Amino acid sequence: MLTGCLAWEFLGRWSGLVFLPPLSAVLVAGWQLLLSGRLLPDLLASLTSLGLGYGLAAMLGVTLGALMGRYRKLEYLLDMQINILLSSPTFIYIPILFAMFGVSRNSQTALILLYALPVIVANTSLGIRSVEPAQLELARSFGASERQLFWVVLLPAALTHIMLGLRTGMARAVKGMIDGEMVIALVGLGAAIVRYGGRFETDKLLALVMVVVLVSVSGTFVVQFIGKRAAGWLARIT
Amino acid sequence: MQANPKFLGVLGDGAAQIDWRWKWGLRLLSLGGMALGWELIGRFWPNLLFPAFSDTVAGLAHLLNQPVLWQALWISNQSLIAGYGLALWIGIPVGLALGHWQRADKAFNIYLSILLVTPISALIPLLISISGLGLTSHVLVVFSFAVPFIVANTRTGVKRIQPEIIDLARSYGATEFQIWFKVLLPAAWPSMLTGLRIALGRAITGMVLSEFFLNAEGLGKLLLEFEGRFEAASVYAVMLIVVAESLILLRLVRALEQRYGRAPNRVVVQ
């Protein structure tokens, strides 16, 4: 890591290319952005949509995925849509969202939801379906009800898959956040990135990219943390 | 297993296999429902930006007959082919190297992980300042979208190989070159193929985004024309075409994956 930073610094200073400012310049630009108060509003706007969109995606996604994993008929009802969303670039559905919500924060949140939901659903349903039938038989033989089956057997067993889906979903959500903001180009990190790119202010641009990476990484950590807490809670109530 | 008397049980146990008639019937019902919903929304809330299903289909039928469409598709897909090809050419060797050489892996894995979670679209303005707006930058964008997944999955494939096999090959006097081609490549093949499939999806995304953010040459230009003339049905028809293309391509790769993606039973060492 350190060598990478040093190499970046050296190459940046030596080459003097527009698109490769030295690491120090990028860090300075980032710091200045933070101080001048221009970074915070964009960051906050982005994070609000992200939190809302991802939160909805997580709740909806795990519920839907669990139901789809458990009940075949529901799965076949919706699996084509999920597959289409997984296989096609979600970016092209932006015009539909604009038509529905206009150019507003709502469409941004909806976009983030659309980016994250399919992965979460797919992974959750896969996890539920991977639970060994033997375990289900065993629980049934003890007289477990459908509800108990879900909470005591299925969900805990599918937890690794669900967590993977949630983490991947977070990365997808950040991508959705940036894509949407780059298109609307009014507020948020993506908008700022497009602005600085247009003005060739590459130091600020790269500083913002680093912020985005930070958001992505910390978002994944948050998901991981909440996931572990939820797993503990689940184990305690059952 | 007893069927649950509550209504949810009627939806069919998840573990049980279901009649193929139900399977396709439900899927058809679902698609039909979507088409109907689309039609109703389009008709009852007439919106300049949201055509009804029937209008879109009519637009699609008309569009498929225009040579402009096929020309645009060809132009756009050139960057897809070039970018994806480049990503394969560079990504597979790098992935093999990272999986095989511990030191390189320790040094570079963190950058790979970062690349995997960053929205590559955020890097597009950077790529513009590197290579401008022409075909090169389209290719570069597609490349950047695809390459992290190829490298990551190839690397995982190599890392899964048991070290004993490589040692065995070495003890038979295999050269480094032979190890790469006869041991690493075949063993990493299943993971690699999965990576290729994911990367193709990403590459298509890259193609779409490059049409939007860079010079709109092929499909992008067509879309802009339709949007300028407020031909919403044609806009949505183009969208459907792009979705169809990605579904078809990914389906193809998945079929390849299922046919050829099985790990070889023996690793041949000469």
Residue B1 contacts A where some CB pair is shorter than 8 Å: yes
A-chain residues near B242 (CB < 8 A):
88-89, 92
Residue A105 has a pLDDT of 83
- Rounded to the nearest angstrom, the minimum Cα separation between A186 and chain B is 15
Q: pLDDT per residue over A182-197, tens digit each?
A: 888 777 888 888 888 8
Residue A84 has a pLDDT of 93
Residue B248 contacts A where some CB pair is shorter than 8 Å: no
Residue B6 has a pLDDT of 41
A-chain residues near B124 (CB < 8 A):
182, 197
What is the mean pLDDT of the segment spanning A11-39?
75
CA atoms B171, B173, B175, B181: torsion sign: negative
Residue of A92, A98, A142 best to disrupt the B interface, most CBs of B under 10 A: A92
Element (H, E) at A193: helix A189-198
Residue B264 has a pLDDT of 56
**Helix, strand or coil for residue B245?**
helix
Helices (H), strands (E): how many in chain A? 11, 0
Supply the ipTM of this predicted assembly.
Answer: 0.85
From the list A90, A146, A193, the residue facing B122 with the nearest CB is: A193
From the list B49, B116, B250, the residue facing A99 with the nearest CB is: B49
* Contact in structure between B178 and B270 (CB atoms under 8 Å): yes
Q: What is the pTM of this model?
A: 0.86
Q: Residue A222 — very low, low, confident or very high, per pLDDT cuts 50/70/90?
A: very high
Residue B223 has a pLDDT of 84
Q: Do B117 and A70 touch (CB under 8 A)?
A: no
A-chain residues near B119 (CB < 8 A):
174-175, 177-179, 212, 216
Mean pLDDT of chain A: 86
* Nearest of A177, A122, A211, A64 to residue B198 by alpha carbon: A122
Residue B125 contacts A where some CB pair is shorter than 8 Å: yes
B-chain residues near A81 (CB < 8 A):
30, 34
Searching chain B, which residue's CA lies closest to the CA of residue A198? B125
Residues 150-209 of B with CB under 8 A from A: 201, 204-205, 208-209
Q: Is A218 exposed, middle or buried (0-12, 13-18, 19+ CB in 10 A)?
A: exposed
Residue B235 has a pLDDT of 86
Average pLDDT along chain B, 270 residues, taken 10 residues at a time = 43 61 85 88 76 85 88 91 95 90 85 89 86 86 95 91 83 80 84 91 93 83 83 87 92 85 53
Residue B11 contacts A where some CB pair is shorter than 8 Å: yes
What is the mean pLDDT of the segment spanning A203-211?
85
Residue B10 has a pLDDT of 53
Residue B52 contacts A where some CB pair is shorter than 8 Å: no
Residue B270 has a pLDDT of 39
Residue B1 has a pLDDT of 40
Residue at token pair 């690793």: B267
- Percentage above 90 pLDDT, chain A: 34
Residue A16 has a pLDDT of 67
* Nearest of A205, A185, A192 to residue A18 by alpha carbon: A205
Residue of A73, A86, A111, A147 best to disrupt the B interface, most CBs of B under 10 A: A73
Comparing A216 with B229, the larger pLDDT belongs to A216
Q: Residue A95 — very low, low, confident or very high, per pLDDT cuts 50/70/90?
A: confident
- Report DSSP state, residue B173: T
Residue at token pair 């698609």: B31
A-chain residues near B204 (CB < 8 A):
88-89
Measured CA to CA, the distance from residue A226 to residue A219 in angstroms comes to 11
Searching chain B, which residue's CA lies closest to the CA of residue A170? B117
A 10 A CB-CB count for B23 gives 16
Query: Which own/partner pairs from B176-184 qualify as long-range (CB within 8 Å, at least 24 positions apart)?
Result: B178/B269, B178/B270, B180/B96, B180/B100, B182/B267, B182/B268, B182/B269, B182/B270, B183/B267, B183/B269, B184/B96, B184/B99, B184/B100, B184/B158
Measured CA to CA, the distance from residue B88 to residue B150 in angstroms comes to 7
Residue B25 has a pLDDT of 85
Residue B224 has a pLDDT of 84
A-chain residues near B213 (CB < 8 A):
182
* Nearest of B77, B98, B118 to residue B200 by alpha carbon: B77
Q: Do A95 and B239 touch (CB under 8 A)?
A: yes
Q: Do B201 and A95 touch (CB under 8 A)?
A: no
What pairs with residue A71 in β-bridges? Answer: B13
Residue B82 has a pLDDT of 94
* Contact in structure between A75 and A161 (CB atoms under 8 Å): no
